[in-house]
A = this chain, B = another copy of it.
């Protein structure tokens, strides 16, 4: 496959090519738009350096409980169980992930329009934004598998046609994150480098990659170099804590060997100025529940996003 002239981040190549510096800013706002948002200059500098920020107690315990109760409710909701974006345990009605959850759950939809969150998103992306992907995850105790090191942007670029690095992920813990239940591990600073990955992408790769990612995994030499240089961090904290991470920050998670389940909300904002194109790997686009192409208008903040409301 030939690399497209408009491809700033060629990947899924037949032969290894060296990693290179990202071609986009980390923080896209400037002037007043940068200084007048909710994130302090210290937090912005840390995000620019590390590619992520962690906040404890972002959601209160009552709201956390409502989201967890929702997850249990979904297991008895046929329309959600039948949804293409719902991944259940083999042979059971136990839900592992519900993708596209912001279109199914009014509470989740309201969360994505929370003014506190959108103001941070605008500050980081320097524009209005929409939801590229959302999901609620449930990782059971003892069984939850890990996920190998990867950059989300690398997949979104290759398989969804996201042109530039101008997206940011929010992960809100619905259970305590401990060192033992497979917490998110990040390589701070890795977002500054793009590591092209080797290997042609098969059609419908997502059907296997949601279980175990084999393509889009950076080579060990580059991973080792970045981990040696920057270290690895795994923010822990009580249920309700928030991790914001840049779309190109390398991350992974280990298996959950503890008895304690791990649930979280995960949603990705993409800049309205960074609309999806044809996938750069040359395949047809992935389903909408993985890379939204339909509802890409700017999200407007809710005046009072009451997340405690029923439903």
Contacts and interface: CB of A to CB of B under 8 A. Distances in A.
Contacts of A178: 232
Contacts of A254: 254-255, 257
Interface residues of A, number: 23
Interface of A: 141-142, 146, 148-149, 178-180, 185, 220, 223-224, 227-228, 232, 234, 252, 254-255, 257-260
Given A180-B185, A180-B232, A255-B254, A260 B220 contact: no
B259 A228 contact: yes
In this complex, which of A227, A255, A259 has the most chain B Cβ atoms within 10 angstroms of its Cβ? Answer: A259
A58 B141 CA distance: 34
B234 A180 contact: yes
Given A179-B179, A180-B185, A224-B141, A146 B232 contact: no
Nearest to A253: B257
B179 A227 contact: no
A258 B227 contact: yes
A252 B232 CA distance: 22
5 contacts: A141-B224, A142-B223, A178-B232, A180-B232, A223-B259
A149 B234 CA distance: 23
A232 B179 CA distance: 9
Nearest to A234: B179
A180 B228 CA distance: 13
A228 B179 CA distance: 15
Contacts of A223: 142, 259
Nearest to A252: B257
Given A141-B224, A234-B179, A234-B180, A185 B259 contact: no
A234 to B, nearest CB: 6
Contact of A224 (B224, B255, B259): B259
A232 B255 contact: no
A237 to B, nearest CB: 14
A142 B220 CA distance: 8
A232 to B, nearest CB: 5
Contacts of A141: 220, 224
Contacts of A257: 146, 148-149, 185, 252, 254
Contacts of A220: 141-142, 259
Contacts of A234: 179-180
B260 A227 contact: yes
A214 to B, nearest CB: 14
B142 A259 contact: no
Contacts of A148: 257
A12 B252 CA distance: 37
A92 to B, nearest CB: 15
Contacts of A149: 257
